[in-house]
Structure 1
Amino acid sequence: YYIELQRHKATVPRANHETYVIQEEVNKELIRIARKFDIKIICTNDVHFTNEDDAEAHERLICVSTGKKLADEGRMLYSKQEWMKTTEEMNAVFADIPEALTNTIEILDKVETYDIDHAPIMPFFAIPEEFGTEEEYRRRLTEEDLYNEFTRDENGNVVLSREEGEEKIRKLGGYDKLYRIKFEADYLAKLAYEGAEKRYGSPLTDELKERINFELYIMKTMGFPGYFLIVQDFINVSRETLGVSVGPGRGSAAGSCVAYCLGITQIDPVKYDLLFERFLNPDRISLPDIDVDFDDDGRARVLQYVTDKYGADNVAHIITYGTMAAKSALKDVARVEGLSIPESDRLTKMIPRRMPEVNGKELKPTLSNCYQYVPEFQAEMNNPDPTVQRTLKYACELEGNVRNIGVHACGVIICRDKISDWVPVSTAVDKLEGKLLVTQYEGRVIEETGLIKMDFLGLKTLSIIMDAVKNIEMTTGRKIDMEKIDIDDKKTYQLYCEGRTVGTFQFESAGMQKYLRELQPSTFEDLIA
């Protein structure tokens, strides 16, 4: 280990001058300890912004985050030395201890190259022991058995050269990982065929077997059987044990016959001729994306079940970063500068609802674009009031900076290890659930790390339907199973024909009600056309 020294000597009046005095006292003692115990010294700078010129903008950002004004006494002050200093600048600061800078190169040489991109890190789904164990599979199957199964097509035909086949094995994680995938794939096939007999009856037709086998083959050779085992588990537990209402399915997942047989979706893709390739395609390698709807009240119970099953350290929500847009940047900086509210409102109202077009494209509503292309702002740049000029200057510099953090509305990460072993984590406050563990990478980055993201959506419509079903049972004693209501119910289609669809997703607008009255739908195919 090393002993670290810092020196932040303020050079402007309105800055923290006390820190340097304390640092010098502490540094003397740190140097004494280093010399006594022969510990190497390094020098660092506390970096909070990139360039020296950013110090003033940073000061205003601190005022925004702490709710202070520049004129407030006793507010938090930095030394304004916290930029990313160059080698020459650091040499000048620590000219009396030259080895302190030289030793930082030693640390640099110890830093390992690290890439956050990773193959999918699939959580382990607990498969019942009566089905078998992974160890049994490792004893029974050779690597050549696995090679043949994962490189041939679903009918056992050779479709890849040996070199191409080995490359495919490598991308799946190597033979060691293939044993687990094979084990999960076989159990998934068992559940799928059990579900198929419940859905379609026995015996299954040859066409149906062909479709199921093809889908299972794609899921297996893309390395995703574990994903489907996890999803079917929490969906079926939600319905059967937790008393949670689950949506029938949405998006491309409805095109999977295996998902239908597992109970993940409630729409028969064979009956409605839906394409599986829109959901999973070997030519487009990406993680499956199954959005699952739960009733608003039940969503928390499902998340608790998942957390209990996979471990609190292995489940996390996804952080969101709220950035300062043009109007909020202007308002925040205006408040910090002490600009009057009417003047602040006047400036923000100058941002047009529709930006000018340049080369046939409408400009983004950024402050830099406003200053350059909106005439009112161009005139305002020469405002004689220095407070207005500072407000415009620093609002533009702070625009796009992170202002607050939140929690993704539905995305949840499930990992086979502690999430902190793979990505940095933090906590964020959710309005409904309080303080939650979150990843510090946001949604667009998190999937590149290989972590498995699943979307748990709370749907108010499902809560309304559950309440209606409960009220019917309370008033009439009649129990209704929503999933067993005939999809060809005539009274329901009569409501559609009359345009009485308020509260029905995608059919409640005035325009849709008008077309429903004109088109008079009488089958489900009419509604999905």
Structure 2
Amino acid sequence: MFVHLRLHTEFSVVDGTNRIDEVAKAAAKDGQPALAITDLGNLFGAIKFYKEARGKGVKPVLGAEVFVEPEEPGNPPSRMILLVQGKQGYLNLSELLARAWTRNVVKNQPLCTWAWLEELGEGLIALAGAQAGPVGQAIVKGDDAGAARLALRLAGLFPHRFYLEIQRAGRPDDEAHVVSAVQLAARLNLPVVATHPVQFATADDYEAHEARVCISEGEILGNQRRVRKFTREQYFKSSAQMEALFADVPSAIANTLEIAKRCNLTLVLGKPQLPDFPTPGGMPIDEYFRVASLEGLEERLAHLYPKEAERDQERPRYLERLEFEINTILKMGFPGYFLIVGDFIQWAKNNGCPVGPGRGSGAGSLVAYALKITDLDPLQYNLLFERFLNPERVSMPDFDIDFCQSNRDRVIDYVKDKYGKDAVSQIATFGTMAAKAAIRDVGRVMDMSYTFCDGISKLVPGKPGMSYTLQYPPNPKKEGDKNNYALELEPLLAERVQKEEDVKTIIEMAQKLEGMTRNIGMHAGGVLIAPGKLTDFCPLYQQPGSDSAVSQYDKDDVEAIGLVKFDFLGLATLTILEIAKEFIVERHKGQENFTFENIPLDDARTYQLFSDGKTEAVFQFESRGMQGMLKEARPSRLEDLIALNALYRPGPMDLIPSFVNRKHGKEVVEYPHPLVEKVLSETYGIMVYQEQVMQTAQVLGGYSLGGADMLRRAMGKKKAEEMAEHREIFRAGAAKQNISQEKADEVFDLMEKFAGYGFNKSHAAAYSLLAYQTGWLKVHYTAEFFCANMTVEMDDTDKLKVLFEDAMKKFGLTFEPPDVNRGMYRFEPVTDKVIRYGLGAIKGTGQQAIEAIIAARDGRGAGPRSDTKGPFTSLFDFCVRVDRTRLNKRTLEALIKAGAFDAMNMNRASLVASIDRAFDFANATLANANQGGLFDMMGEDAHGSSTQEPELVEMVPWGVKERLTQEKTAVGFYLSGHLFDEVASEVRCFVRTQIEELLDSREPQILAGIISDFRVINGQRGRLALFKLDDKSATIEASADENVVNAHRDMLKDDEFVVMSGRLQLDHFSGGLRVKVQQVWDLAAARAKFGRYLQVAIGDTAPDVQRLVREFPPRRQETEQGEVLVHGLRVRMGIRCKAGQGQAVAELQLGEGSRFFPSDAALAAWSAQAGTGSVNVVYDAG
């Protein structure tokens, strides 16, 4: 019998393709009594392995292959195996790995020092590491004395727990090492153990493993110079194979069993272990929890019901609910959890870090509301505690807490200070190879073209929120198989796999790697607080270059070992509200104590904003589809917003029309049964929330709310056997209410349907409150709303542009342009209707540079004029006064292009050309000042050039197009005007529908606008151009196929004006429209296409028609059918003749021979020859 004591799984990340479930199954099938996991430098997969092995009846041995620091600097590190014997060994290995990752990473390798091995060796069995270990390295070098010395040293560090390790894995030096190691063991009286470096499951997996290694190393599989570190023999061998391999060293096989017997770690899983919460005066925690909850409730009631009589009347129902919750929490042993969360939330609120009103099911707890963890009264909105913490199912409570994004880290630092830095960390996440990425990665290491691989990967469906697998779909499918098989869903992919060998090779290789751990990241919000050192529970990992340690276990595994996860999530909306609050307090008298918690929740103007769909940048309600829904629904209370928020998602979205019609009396409100009218009345008889499913089960089926939550969960899992049991329970409960079995089944089926996509009401309520607050802000403090939003979004120019246009078009705000003499880093409200543009939003600036500019304006600058206060007088004065260690030429150029110097000089071209001169002048001025005015003593002629401001470089000012184009490079969009303005009056004569007015239609549409964000990608059917079309009213996404791109490549580029025809399509991602372009014209071609004729009013001279037609002939185009099309305008002449005291007007329509191509140059020529007359293109009347 043999036990594998060396195994790399997928969690070694850089190599290893063993999936934990597969190797545990292989060991069990082979009858191996135990199996070790020894991933490279980590325990990432240890808990998953522990549970999986035990589940298969195999004893799990936890361990790791660790890097050991070289004795002599300059030598490479060595590697050895450390195996855990028991609890002490687990603690020591965790500490060793944590120290290595957080203190001693060299070239991405976490090195253990010899001193640490000496300090933390207890409870660990050490295997020498074969050729890669300290002893093995010496043996390979032929240093027998060194090998003996190191072996004795390690035997001293691990007394009776050190084994010389031998391997036969098909490497050239294996046999020589085995002979030397066995001889050394005999000489030193040390035991030997046989291991096999298992890297992959079966011999057939060798190529896939090599591909994984190449992906990690950025190598090509076929590269002959690539160092091949692994052999085909490194698969999971059976006991019989290993016994045959080491038949000459039977003790080496026997020792694998001996070591396995010595390793007896038992982990206590699933038992939560919270840190101790310090209570005042050492009061028992249960008592303090009750006192704090009751006191907190009284504070809340005083705010909810200011009148004492009303408060006394309402108090009993609150106390009843509070007592129930307190007793449940105490019974389940979680008072410390609530107190810990309440404590850091209260600290955040008291220290300028906004906290969200609630998130997830936690908003259903009255205790949470009393402890100020949440800010939503659960009784007012009929939220259920049992949806958060089920008394009939013991599981950890889990509050998700939203913090202001920019202050979140401060709260985490507070927690570290309170509970100890070594007790707090964030949580690891394991990034895996998804189907598309696996195809691209495999294709790259197989040296196939990117275009080819990208084309295959794009055949894998990519619907947002869905995952797809490359595996072959089973035939027949097993019941409950929820996999989305790409080869089943995309016939073209399946066809190519069948017909193309290269495609089949890539897909089958990618199948073996799909889903494997690819990289280690950090959980978005999860924070661990341990009751002591974290390494007493799990090892830590620190990404090279980062200063934040994370657990080596993911969120599921840290919870399994008893650590409690607290979710600290960053929410930009809270940052926006905080910035707006600062502006409100600063600008508005009497608002010094303003808080969003005190705003009225029945404000008619706010609900009108929602009803008008003017919810751009309003939390949760900003999408175009949501805006359309709001216009139809016309919400008039917070309950409506909560319901609409819950309904607007796949599945329940189909219920929106019925909800809207019932709300406005256009459809009869019906209930599944009269007894549930109270439960469903607020949503007009429609089950919208999971809580309503639970309450229906309670009212009709006699369930407790805890039992109803179990029913809801069972319905979500759709397990037939479980559902049949619950149906019988529901029938029995309904029968007691005199409800027939037929009616009970009808309601049960309805509940089952809604449980599948019903939404968590507590979450919808908390987030809808936040949405209401942002909507209220937009109505009552509009300038502050836009300033706060634009400040937070200043790095996203697409969002900035949307906000900029929304502010001006729908809310009548104006913007002061960027100005180095007045602007701040943030967007600032000047009046209720005027916003000063934030300098930080100019690309290429940055906060440091803007702060340096503001400091110089305030007399805190640098250089010889550092104490000069007030506005800058010129470009040269600016460069002298601003600290140029924080300002470079690129930043200055961006500021000029954005118009931030226009108040000093409007010629941006001249300013840009003078940047070098301004920097030279600033350098000379500084040099002169540093030399104590030496040049001044020598007379003006000697230094005039260095102390007197030079002239700006003379340049022709930029034209409108150049100015706006340069402005767009600095700001991200046209700020002081729009390129469309130049042509708008003419274009609207034939393109009469603005982009913002477009409606979904099957008819081809004519659009006009300026192109932006133009790019070409390789699509499934050739090259595809993607771009945006902007006509100042709005922007629409557009696409053009390869034929269109090739025919119009001169026109299709950024900042070009085009007219196009195309078909509109619904963009499911944004909820808006997009256009598939069929034909493109520039303005001249559009005049020829849509114009009727050129109207020429002749003045004192008549134009030379023949010459003009000769210079600007019509364009001819031959169709595929051989037909010649002529593109040009005919001419009509208007002639005024004097007749006595009056005048007559005659109009002459010239024939086909007058056709010409109406370019701008042609129109200018016609106009020049018309003398005092005029020319204009006439289009069909609208």
TM-score scaled to structure 2, two decimals?
A: 0.37
Which residue does 1:124 correspond to in 2? 276
Q: Is 1:229 the counterpart of 2:330 in the alignment?
A: no
Are the equivalent residues in 1 in contact too, given 2:165–2:195 (CA < 8 A)? Answer: yes
Map of 1:421 onto structure 2: 536
- Which whole-Å deviations, capped at 9, do the CAs of 1:146-172 have from their partners, x for residues lacking one? xxxxxxxxxxxxxxxxxxxxxxxxxxx
Structure 1 residues 48 and 312, CA gap change in structure 2 (3 angstroms): farther
Shift of 1:245: 0.6
Partner of 2:509: 394
- Aligned partners of 1:59 and 1:77 also within 8 Å: no
Residue 540 of structure 2 aligns with an amino acid whose one-letter code is: V
Q: Report the more deviating stretch, 247-256 or 485-494.
A: 485-494
Which string of whole-angstrom CA distances, capped at 9 and with x for unpartnered residues, describes residues 369-415 of structure 1? 46x9846534544536xx55543332222222222221111122221
- % identity of equivalent residues: 39
* Residues 274-312 of structure 1: CA deviation (Å, up to 9, x unaligned): 222222221121111211110110111111111222222
Structure 1 letter corresponding to 2:286? A
- 2:560 is aligned with 1:440: no
Task: Name which of 378, 391, 398 aligns with 1:282.
Answer: 391
Question: Residues 473, 379 of structure 1: CA spacing in aligned structure 2 closer, same or farther, 3 A cutoff?
Answer: closer
Asked if the contact 1:351–1:365 (Cα under 8 Å) also holds between the matched residues in 2, the reply is: no
Q: RMSD across aligned C-alpha pairs, in angstroms?
A: 3.0
Is the radius of gyration larger for structure 1 or structure 2? 2
On the 8 A contact 1:7/1:93 being kept in 2, the answer is no
Matches within 5 A, 1:294-443: 294-352=403-461, 364-366=483-485, 369=487, 374=491, 376-381=493-498, 383=500, 390-428=505-543, 434-443=546-555
Quick one: structure 1 residues 523 and 365, their matched pair in 2 at CA, closer, same or farther if it must change by over 3 Å? closer
- Contact 2:202–2:235, Cα closer than 8 Å, also in 1: yes
Q: Does 1:39 align with 2:190?
A: yes
Rounded to whole Å, the distance in 2 between the matches of 1:217 and 1:277 is 13
What secondary structure does 2:347 align onto? helix
In structure 1, the partner of 2:213 is: 62
Distance (whole Å) between structure 2 residues aligned to residue 209 and residue 507 of structure 1: 35
Aligned to 2:571: 459
Aligned to 1:220: 330
Q: Distance in 1 between matches of 2:504 and 2:385?
A: 58
Q: Structure 1 counterpart of 2:364, which letter?
A: G
Map 1:232-243 onto structure 2 (within 5 A). 232-241=342-351, 243=352
Q: Which of 157, 166, 177 is matched with 1:6 structurally?
A: 166
Relative to structure 1, the CA distance from residue 89 to residue 103 in structure 2 (aligned partners, 3 Å threshold; closer, same or farther) is: same
- Asked whether the equivalents of residues 166 and 194 of structure 2 are also in contact (C-alpha less than 8 Å), the reply is yes
Structure 1 position 518, deviation (Å)? 4.4
Partner residue, 1:500: 614
Query: Counterpart of 1:198 in structure 2: which amino acid?
Result: E
Do the aligned partners of residues 398 and 520 (structure 1) sit closer, same or farther apart at CA in structure 2, a change above 3 Å counting?
closer
Residue 361 of structure 2, aligned match among 252, 270, 279 = 252
Would the aligned equivalents of 1:31 and 1:41 in 2 still touch at CA under 8 Å? Answer: yes
Contact kept, 8 Å, 2:165 with 2:193, in 1: the verdict is: yes
| Amino acid corresponding to residue 87 of structure 1 in structure 2 | S
Deviations 1:188-215 (A, max 9, x none): 1111122122111388633332222221
Contact 1:315–1:419 (Cα < 8 Å) also in 2: yes
> Which amino acid counterpart does residue 497 of structure 1 have in structure 2?
S
The amino acid across from 1:321 in the alignment is F
Distance change (3 Å), C-alpha of 1:258 and 1:98: same
Paired AA for residue 348 in structure 1:
S
| Contact persistence 1:185–1:216 (CA under 8 A) | no
Equivalence map 1:507-526=2 (5 Å): 507-526=621-640
| Residue equivalent to 1:53 | 204
Aligned residue for 2:52? none
Instruction: Show CA shifts across 1:485-505 (max 9, x none).
Output: 233344433323333222223
- Equivalent of residue 82 in structure 1, options 234, 237, 242: 234
Partner residue, 2:582: 470
| Distance in 1 separating the partners of 2:455 and 2:608 | 53
Relative to 1, partners in 2 of residues 1:401 and 1:187: Cα closer, same or farther, differing over 3 Å? same
TM-score where L is the length of structure 1: 0.79
**Higher alpha-carbon deviation: 326-335 or 197-206:** 197-206
| Aligned counterpart, 1:178 | none
> Residue 346 and residue 481 in structure 1: after superposition, are their counterparts in 2 closer, same or farther (change >3 A)?
closer
Distance change (3 Å), C-alpha of 1:475 and 1:24: farther
Question: 1 CA distance for matches of 2:550 and 2:628?
Answer: 45
Residue 393 of structure 1 aligns to which amino acid in structure 2? E
Letter in 2 for 1:344: C
Aligned partner of residue 346 in structure 2, secondary structure: helix
Whether the 8 Å contact between 1:63 and 1:70 is mirrored in structure 2 is: yes
Amino acid at match of 2:559: E
Note closer, same or farther for the CA distance 1:513–1:404 as it changes in structure 2 (3 Å cut): same
Q: Which runs of at least 4 in structure 1 moved beyond 6 Å after TM superposition?
A: 354-363
SS at match of 1:426: strand
1:270 corresponds to 2:430: no
Paired residue secondary structure (1:125):
coil
Q: Take 1:378 and 1:497, find their aligned partners in 2: how far apart are those partners?
A: 50
Gaps of 5+ in 2: 1-160, 303-307, 644-1182
2:291 is aligned, of 190, 193, 199, to 190
Q: 1:220 to 1:105 in 2, by over 3 A?
A: same
Match of 1:261 among 370, 374, 377: 370
- Other structure's SS at 2:524 match: strand
The structure-2 alpha-carbon separation of the partners of 1:280 and 1:62, relative to structure 1 and needing over 3 Å to count, comes to same
Q: How far did 1:32 drift?
A: 4.1
- Equivalent residues in 2 for 1:43-192, closer than 5 Å: 43-72=194-223, 73-112=225-264, 114-115=266-267, 117-128=269-280, 130-132=281-283, 183-192=284-293
Equivalent AA in structure 1 for residue 569 of structure 2: L
One-letter code aligned to 1:6? I
SS of 2:357's equivalent in the other structure is: coil
Q: Which moved more, 1:401-410 or 1:373-382?
A: 373-382
Are 1:255 and 1:278, in contact at CA under 8 Å, matched by a contact in 2?
yes
Structure 1 residues 483 and 324: CA distance shift in structure 2, 3 A: same
- SS in structure 2 opposite 1:441? coil
- Residue 638 (structure 2) pairs with residue 487 (structure 1): no
In the TM superposition, residue 106 of structure 1 has moved relative to its aligned partner by: 0.9
Task: Quickly say closer, same or farther: Cα 1:361–1:271, change in 2 above 3 A.
Answer: closer
TM-fit CA distance, 1:101 = 0.6
Residues 433, 515 of structure 2: 8 Å contact kept: yes
What is the SS of the residue equivalent to 1:117? coil
Between the aligned partners of 1:450 and 1:239, the Cα distance in structure 2 is 29
Give the AA of the match of 1:409. A
The CA deviation at 1:228 is 0.3
